[in-house]
Amino acid sequence: MNDGPITSQGLRDEHPPQASTPRGPTRGSLARRVLRTALLPAAAIVLALVVGAVIMIASSPLVGGSIDLALPLTAYGALLSGSLGSFNAIVSTLVQATPLILAGLAVGIGFKAGLFNIGAQGQFLVGALSAAAAGVASADLPPIVAIALAVAAGMAAGTAYGFIPGFLKAYTGAHEVVTTIMLNYVAIQIVAYVVSGPLRGENVSFARTETITNAALPVLVGRDGHIGILFAALAVPIIAWLLFRSTLGFEIRTVGANPDAARYAGMHPRRLIILTMALGGLLAGLAGATEILGQTGHMPAAYATSVGFDAIAVALLGRAHPVGILFAGLLFGAMRAGAGLMQIQAGIPVQMINVLQAVILFFLAADLIVRALIRTRTDDGGVAEMQTITRSYGEQTAN
Amino acid sequence: MIDLLYGIPVIGLVFQFVGYVIDVMPIIAPTIIGAATPIALGAMCGFMNERSGVVNIGIEGMMLTAAFVAWWTASLTAQLIPEGPAGPLGISTPLLIGLVAAIGAAMLVSLVHAWLSITVRADQIISGTIINIFAVGITGYLNLLVSRSAPPSAGQFSRWEPPGEVTELPFIGWLFDAFLAQGPIGLGLLVAVIVMQILLFRSRWGLRTRAVGEHPEAAETVGIDVIGLRYRNVILGGVFAGLAGAYLTIEFGNSFQGEMTNGRGFIALAALIFGRWTPLGAFGAAILFTASEGIQRAVRFGPPEGTLGEFLAAVPSQFYSAVPYLITIIILAGVVGRSLAPAAIGRPFSREKRERRIQPSDSASEAGR
């Protein structure tokens, strides 16, 4: 009988780890599997666009003075042309997607280990701060050295900041959801203190660091397509390899699927929890570093960003799979890139993007609505990570 | 005697600090209580959820939604109906309608949370995340559209003036002044905290709620409707989130800004944990948390003399703001007195005593339910 909370561990991994059996899918079955995996998220996106359209029409009297049934078309058209309509628009989409993909991987790798890393936001912030500090300090060094130092500093700070909740979870049982939420707010205060105090630049109109010179990421393509895009592009296959082809990834997924079995098999759940959280911190810290070194060029004391929270949406939409996260990150990046044009051309405030993201997540979480609507049995268990993570919230004992 | 204590090296500083806090407390207490009220109300919302076994990290989003709805509805009503005389405590028809609308909105959001967490059995953290993202989006979206026409504010509730005989009592008069010189929502919180504390430990509802939060299977065996009770508690929790939001826009202030809750919903969660999932504890924790910022302000405007003053002035102001979060982490880690969550928290209840997706055919029957 499996009726207790301990035995029913849930299926966090879509495809439970298989020791060494090659999966060897034929071409046809691979295509079908991709289709089955992508169908549910795709349906959720379409439904969210419909809901967004309804909201726009309902609020159109506030936008233009009267009910305007064509408003969603104008808005989505502007969103599309602002994100894919020109070469610069596409580059802008890639730039916006970069931190989302990196931070999305940070959250996604946590899901694989059964951990809910809400702390990507804080890890992103300390990574950004640390990269800015190193970038300002290395202004006299040759660019290659300066960039390497600043990026490494961002990753190191993120790793350390991810290590804390991992350690607390492993050795004291403090649930990572609560500790990472708290650490996100601590990070805001750390940034505010450091940037308005020791790191404050001279002759700046508001509290921010000096402008980063030699450590700034060089532009590769278009107006602002910095090499940080490559970091994200490289991180996806690296994390995919790590998760699905390496021993460490196998152990991470096993711990996520069943910590008891993992321990029985001689793995060390505690060490793996800490490692996974630190690795997530590294990725989120890298995301912060690329944003500061490639985009803003300095660190403001009140750095308004929601990358770390959007990353949760990215990881869920991408079903915690690196390739899925890549596409989800590109989608949300495109939305961010096109939102400005949507506001200018259609008068729809950029916050509509948040509404769309939330509604996409809603339909993913309430997948039974989608399943009823599209009348299909898609790949089952794909969003299992959406159902079992909180299971350990009340458990105060370590694994 | 006191000078003697102050003279002790290092430890003397602690005594000096305590003395300083006691000195300034009557002055900063009203601000502290005012800042603690929305946090305590948010924590009450979390209390209703988590005691019955449902995690709620969406308090922030519920508060934000309610804050916007309260302000907007009050403003719309004020434009529609002719201005009448405001009653005691500044109670007017627009404000009352705004308050009711805010509570209704937060209950509606809570209903979504309840449906996702209890019926769909989706992950409750994700449900909360959805609520937070949606609230930032929809309130920011509507606020931008609405504020294009610069709608007038409907004003705000005013404070009650407690009788002078009470507030001028020696030594403890300032306490009455701090707690009682508040508007209707602030006063309502005081009543709610006491009533809920008694109900939780002394009523049938409280016993059942605790049972459902600790061991739903056992609760069901003795005939408690676990799912019904969870629904009821989560939706009623929305009342408190609605009050918390309305407090921000029609009692504490009279306008709305995007993302104005500014993490209060998460501090509320921290207060709930620090207060060990009880109303009174959470209220105390909320006061303790806001006291940290209150003392920071006191130090900035009237620092104590001597070494203590120099020491406090050297502590960055951001540290005081981070204190609530740090304390919560320490408490959770069990370094100083462990805080234990209700045992069944976050675990969806299923009458069939098996979790979803164990059998592949499960989701089909789920959809048809």
The domain limits of chain A are 69-347
CA distance B342 to chain A (A): 6
Q: Tell which residue, A328, A232, A255, has the closest CA to residue A9.
A: A255
CA B148/CA B142 separation, integer angstroms: 10
CB contact under 8 A, A391 and B346: yes
CB contact under 8 A, A385 and B123: yes
| Six token digits for residue B213 | 């939060």
- The closest CB to that of B122, out of A353, A366, A392, belongs to A366
State which residue of chain B sits closest to A310, comparing Cα positions.
B133
**Average pLDDT for residues B62-90, to the nearest whole number?**
89
CB contact under 8 A, B347 and A390: yes
Mutate to test the interface with B, among A9, A36, A186 (most CBs of B within 10 A): A186
**Is the pLDDT reported for residue A9 higher than 50?**
no
What are A208's strand-pairing partners?
A300
CB contact under 8 A, A355 and B134: yes
Q: CA torsion, points B47, B50, B55, B60, in degrees to nearest 10?
A: 0
Task: Give the model's pLDDT for residue A373.
Answer: 67
CA distance A361 to chain B (A): 6
Task: Give the model's pLDDT for residue A391.
Answer: 40
Task: Give the model's pLDDT for residue B336.
Answer: 56
Q: Report helix, strand and coil shares of chain A as percent, to nearest 5.
A: 70, 0, 30
Task: Give the model's pLDDT for residue B360.
Answer: 38
Long-range contacts for B275-279 (Cβ within 8 Å, ≥24 apart)?
B275/B43, B276/B339, B276/B340, B277/B47, B277/B50, B277/B51, B277/B339, B277/B341, B277/B342, B278/B47, B278/B197, B278/B200, B279/B44, B279/B47, B279/B192, B279/B193, B279/B194, B279/B196, B279/B197, B279/B200
> What's the pLDDT tens digit per position in B192-251?
999 999 999 999 999 999 999 999 999 999 999 999 999 999 999 999 999 999 999 999
Q: What is the DSSP letter of A212?
A: P
3-state secondary structure of B126: helix
Chain B residues lying within 8 Å of A55, measured CB to CB: 138, 141
- The closest CB to that of B329, out of A174, A357, A381, belongs to A174
State which residue of chain B sits closest to A179, comparing Cα positions.
B329
CA A334/CA B209 separation, integer angstroms: 46
Burial of A19: CB neighbours in 10 Å, binned 0-12, 13-18, 19+: exposed
State which residue of chain B sits closest to A117, comparing Cα positions.
B125
Task: Give the model's pLDDT for residue A346.
Answer: 92
Chain A residues lying within 8 Å of B274, measured CB to CB: none
CB contact under 8 A, B319 and A189: yes
> Are β-strands A225-226 and A219-221 bridged in parallel, bridged antiparallel, or unpaired?
antiparallel
Mutate to test the interface with A, among B145, B338, B358, B366 (most CBs of A within 10 A): B145
Task: Give the model's pLDDT for residue A18.
Answer: 46
- CATH code for the structural domain at A69-347: 1.10.3470
Q: What is the DSSP letter of A390?
A: G
CA distance A366 to chain B (A): 6
Q: Give the whole-number percent of chain B exceeding pLDDT 70.
A: 92
Q: Tell which residue, A111, A122, A191, has the closest CA to residue A163.
A: A122
Chain B residues lying within 8 Å of A313, measured CB to CB: 129, 133
CB contact under 8 A, B142 and A391: no
3-state secondary structure of B83: coil
CA distances (Å), B322 to each of A176, B44, B191, B292, in order?
18, 22, 30, 9
Other C-beta atoms lying within 10 Å of the C-beta of residue B142? 20
State whether residue B259 sits within 8 Å of chain A by CB: no
List strand residue ranges (DSSP E) for B135-201, in order: none
State whether residue B116 sits within 8 Å of chain A by CB: yes
CA distance A202 to chain B (A): 20
Q: What is the mean pLDDT of chain B?
A: 87
The pTM score is 0.88
CA B248/CA B256 separation, integer angstroms: 8
- Report how far Cα A80 is from the mean position of its chain's Cα atoms: 22
**Average pLDDT for residues B342-353, to the nearest whole number?**
76
Chain B residues lying within 8 Å of A116, measured CB to CB: 125
CA distance B329 to chain A (A): 6
CA distance A214 to chain B (A): 31
Q: How many pairs of residues across A and B have Cβ atoms under 8 Å apart?
A: 202
Task: Give the model's pLDDT for residue B198.
Answer: 96
> What's the pLDDT tens digit per position in A140-179?
999 999 999 999 999 999 999 999 999 999 988 888 888 9
Task: Give the model's pLDDT for residue A330.
Answer: 96
Q: For A54-78, b where at least 16 C-beta lie within 10 A, e where not — what string?
A: ebbbebbebbeeeebeebbebbbbb
Task: Give the model's pLDDT for residue A22.
Answer: 44
**Average pLDDT for residues A333-339, to the nearest whole number?**
95
Confidence of residue A372 (pLDDT cuts 50, 70, 90): low
Chain B residues lying within 8 Å of A352, measured CB to CB: 137, 141
State whether residue B367 sits within 8 Å of chain A by CB: yes
Choose the most confident range, by mean pLDDT, from A310-314, A379-383, B352-356: A310-314
Confidence of residue A374 (pLDDT cuts 50, 70, 90): low
Q: Which amino acid is at B62?
A: M
**Average pLDDT for residues A212-217, to the nearest whole number?**
90
CA B110/CA A367 separation, integer angstroms: 19
Task: Give the model's pLDDT for residue B285.
Answer: 93
Chain A residues lying within 8 Å of B353, measured CB to CB: 3
Q: Tell which residue, B57, B132, B68, B268, has the closest CA to residue A310.
A: B132
Q: What is the mean pLDDT of chain A?
A: 85
Gyration radius of chain A over CA positions: 22
State which residue of chain A sits closest to B363, comparing Cα positions.
A368
| Six token digits for residue A62 | 């506030």
Task: Give the model's pLDDT for residue A160.
Answer: 97
Question: Domains along chain B?
Answer: 31-368 (1.10.3470)
